[in-house]
């Protein structure tokens, strides 16, 4: 499965002008890509303490950060490439000190110092870059910046359409020193055939094969489900040999 192509369309999701036009059209509305916080909460609360300094990349006009503050999170820096979105969100949340907003390109976050965040949360931003021009280069620049900004022991939580065959080659680059745990979560409105319930728990991690793929016996109940990659930046006491997975022409 090479979802980078199938989940893209004719829009250039890596272009600020596209997002500016979209947010002007939405005129103050709110939209959460992929999953709402209520679905992601078990994963966020398990890996990101409420006292963490959190960086929300590609925040757009989503309610995710607001919902996290309501759940006890104390310090969330939100960035987006669209100045229209950022100005709108600044006005909306000007009286909520836990939420801060800055216009910024995730491929260059040099405004922030090294190791300045405990957690980075990405709900569709890497996917947007993978739909743009020079996708592998953009992805490398973004992930390099994420790794730089994370403190040792920090968490990069990626929520994406990309299965391991198209995401692990990017995430497993050795300089990042990330230990990666994978989960799969159906769409919020997904209904199983016949209304039957699933026997599996979505809170159980999925074992990635040595080649960086899903296990051969893994059943993807929802073909449009989302993958959650929890990438922990290992400190000096945790460093070990991490397998890397080469990029192929199909992934590029």
Residue 156: CA count within 13 A, CB half-sphere? 29
- CB neighbours of 68 closer than 8 A, spacing ≥ 6? 37, 44, 54, 76
Query: How many domains does one find in the chain?
Result: 1
Q: Nearest 5°: phi and psi at 41?
A: -50, -45
SS3 197: coil
pLDDT number for residue 201: 81
139, part of any domain: yes
Q: What radius of gyration, in Å, describes the C-alpha atoms of the chain?
A: 18
Average pLDDT over every residue of 137-147: 96
pLDDT of residue 33: 73
pTM above 0.85, yes or no: yes
**pLDDT, greater one: 192 or 224:** 224
CA atoms within 13 A on the CB side of 230: 18
pLDDT recorded at residue 131: 84
Residue 2 reports pLDDT greater than 90: no
Q: Could you give the CA distance from residue 190 to residue 172 in angstroms, rounded to a whole number?
A: 30
The answer to whether residue 1 sits within a structural domain is: no
The reply to whether 17 falls in a domain is no
CA distances from 237 to 60, 104, 177 (A): 37, 33, 12
Whether residue 252 has pLDDT greater than 50: no
User: Which range, 46-55, 78-87, 188-197, 232-241, is most confident?
Assistant: 46-55
Host domain of residue 83: 31-187+200-212+220-235
Alpha helix segments (H runs only) across the chain: 3-6, 16-26, 37-47, 64-70, 83-92, 125-130, 135-149, 164-171
Would you say residue 93 lies in a domain?
yes
Q: How far is it, in rounded angstroms, from Cα 48 to Cα 164?
A: 23
Whether residue 59 is contained in a domain is answered as yes
Predicted confidence at residue 47, as pLDDT, reads 98
In the predicted structure, residue 129 carries a pLDDT above the cut 80: yes
Q: Is residue 106 situated within a structural domain? A: yes
Q: What percentage of the chain reaches a pLDDT higher than 90?
A: 67
Q: What is the pLDDT of residues 7-54, one digit of tens each?
A: 565 456 666 655 555 656 666 666 677 899 999 999 999 999 999 999
Structural domain includes residue 11:
no
Calpha distance 31→124 (Å, rounded): 12
Q: Which residue has the higher pLDDT, 32 or 186?
A: 186
Asked if residue 247 belongs to a domain, the reply is: no
Cβ pair 172, 242 in contact under 8 A: yes
Q: Which CATH number does the domain housing residue 145 bear? A: 3.40.50.150
Q: pLDDT tens, 144-171?
A: 999 999 999 999 999 999 999 999 999 9
- 83-92 and 16-26 helices cross at what angle (nearest 10)? 40
Give the model's confidence band at 176: pLDDT under 50 very low, under 70 low, under 90 confident, else very high.
Answer: very high
pLDDT at 251 over 50: no
């Amino acid at each position: 499965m090479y979802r980078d192509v199938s989940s893209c369309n004719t829009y250039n999701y890596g272009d600020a002008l596209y997002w500016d036009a979209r947010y002007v059209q939405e005129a103050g509305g709110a939209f959460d890509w992929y999953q709402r916080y209520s679905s992601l909460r078990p994963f966020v609360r398990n890996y990101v303490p409420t006292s963490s300094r959190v960086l929300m990349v590609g925040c757009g006009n989503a309610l995710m950060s607001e919902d996290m503050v309501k759940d006890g999170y104390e310090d969330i820096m939100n960035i987006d490439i669209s100045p229209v979105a950022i100005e709108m969100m600044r006005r909306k949340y000007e009286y909520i000190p836990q939420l801060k907003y800055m216009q910024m390109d995730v491929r260059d976050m040099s405004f922030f110092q090294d190791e300045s965040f405990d957690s980075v949360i990405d709900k569709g931003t890497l996917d947007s870059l993978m739909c743009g021009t020079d996708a592998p280069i953009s992805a490398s620049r973004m992930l390099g910046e994420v790794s730089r900004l994370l403190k040792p022991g920090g968490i990069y939580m990626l929520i994406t359409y990309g299965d391991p065959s198209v995401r692990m080659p990017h995430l497993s680059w050795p300089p990042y020193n990330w230990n990666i745990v994978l989960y799969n979560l159906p769409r919020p409105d997904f209904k199983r055939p016949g209304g039957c319930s699933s026997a599996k728990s979505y809170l159980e991690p999925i074992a990635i094969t040595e080649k960086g793929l899903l296990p051969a016996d893994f059943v993807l109940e929802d073909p449009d489900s989302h993958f959650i990659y929890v990438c922990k930046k290992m400190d000096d006491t945790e460093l070990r040999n991490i397998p890397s997975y080469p990029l192929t022409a199909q992934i590029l």
